[in-house]
Amino acid sequence: MRLLLVEDYRPVRESLTKGLREAGFAVDATGDGEEGLWFARGNDYDVIVLDLMLPGLDGLSILKKLRAEGRQNHVLILTAKDALDDRVTGLDSGADDYLVKPFAFQELLARVRALVRRSYRTKNPLLEVQDLRIDLTVQRVWRGPEEIVLTPREYALLEYLAMRAGQVVSRTDIWEHVYEFNSSASSNVVDVYIGYVRKKIDRPDRPSLIDTIRGRGYTLGAEP
C-alpha cells in the first residue's frame, strides 16, 4: 500500500517513514505543504498522513483542496493541538481520522491499516482468496496449512492484489500502490515481482492463482 506522509518535524517524519516502510508500506514523505499537495495530486495514495502545522501550506488547506478536487484518499491527521475545536475542524474538513501528538507508533500503524481496509471496503483483517490466507495485521501469508515467506515488496504486491481480488489490476495501479515516488523501478519490475510471487504461492500441479490478462494487467483468484 502506498502512503503519503506530510510532516515538517524531521524526527517524526524520518522515524515514521522508516517504521511505515518496515511495516510494508511504500512511503513518500515531505516536510513542506506545497510539495505535499503536489505529491497528493500526482499519485493515488491509499492513505495520506497529514500534519496540520506545515510551512508553505497548512494541513487543513491541503485537505480542503484535495476534497474540493474530488479526491477520495483516506486522510489521517496528525496534530499537536488537541482542543476539541481543532479535532472537529479536522474531521469536518474531510479527514477520516486524527491522532494527537505524541502518539504510539503501533496505534498509528493500526489506524493506517484500518484506513487501507476501508479503501478496499474490507473490514476483516484476514483476507482469504481460495485457500490463500493473508493476515493483514501481522503480514503473514498461508496457502492451505503452509505458511509462505515473502519479502516485504512481494508481500506488498500480493496484499494489493488480494485487496482487489477478482478485479483486473493494471501494472500502473500496482506500480503506483506498491512503489515509492522516487524509486527507480519501472512498471517492468512489476512483471518480475509477479513472477517471484507466483513462484512462492503457486503449486506446481495447479493453475496459477494470479492470472495475466493480456494488455490489461493481472487478477488474483479469478474463478476459472
Q: Least distance from C-beta 11 to another protein, angstroms?
A: 3
Helix axes 59-68, 84-92, angle to 10 degrees: 20
Distance from C-alpha of 177 to C-alpha of 5, rounded to nearest angstrom: 14
Distance from C-alpha of 14 to C-alpha of 138, rounded to nearest angstrom: 23
Residue 22 touches another protein, criterion: CB under 8 A: yes
Residue 137 touches another protein, criterion: CB under 8 A: no
Nearer to another protein among residue 173 and residue 180 (C-beta): 180
- Pairing, β 210-213 against β 146-148: unpaired
Spell 117-139 as b/e; 16+ CB within 10 A means b: bebbeeeeeebebeebbbebeee
Nearer to another protein among residue 18 and residue 199 (C-beta): 18
Q: Which of 41, 88, 91, 105 is close enough to bind another protein by CB under 8 A?
A: 105
Nearer to another protein among residue 9 and residue 120 (C-beta): 9
Q: CA triplet 174, 76, 6: central angle to 5 degrees? A: 75
Residue 15 touches another protein, criterion: CB under 8 A: yes
SS3 label, residue 143? strand
Q: Least distance from C-beta 114 to another protein, angstroms?
A: 18
Nearer to another protein among residue 103 and residue 142 (C-beta): 103
Q: Which of residues 44-103 bind another protein (CB under 8 A)?
A: 53-56, 78, 80-81, 83, 100-103
Q: Are 153 and 178 in contact (CB under 8 A)?
A: yes
Q: Which of 3, 12, 136, 162 is close enough to bind another protein by CB under 8 A?
A: 12
Residue 140 touches another protein, criterion: CB under 8 A: no
Q: Least distance from C-beta 24 to another protein, angstroms?
A: 12
Q: Which of 26, 27, 31, 156 is close enough to bind another protein by CB under 8 A?
A: 31
Q: Least distance from C-beta 81 to another protein, angstroms?
A: 6
Residue 172 touches another protein, criterion: CB under 8 A: no
User: From the CA atom positions of the chain, what is the Rg in Å?
Assistant: 18
In angstroms, the Cα distances linking 52 to 37, 58, 77, 135, 142 are 13, 6, 7, 32, 40
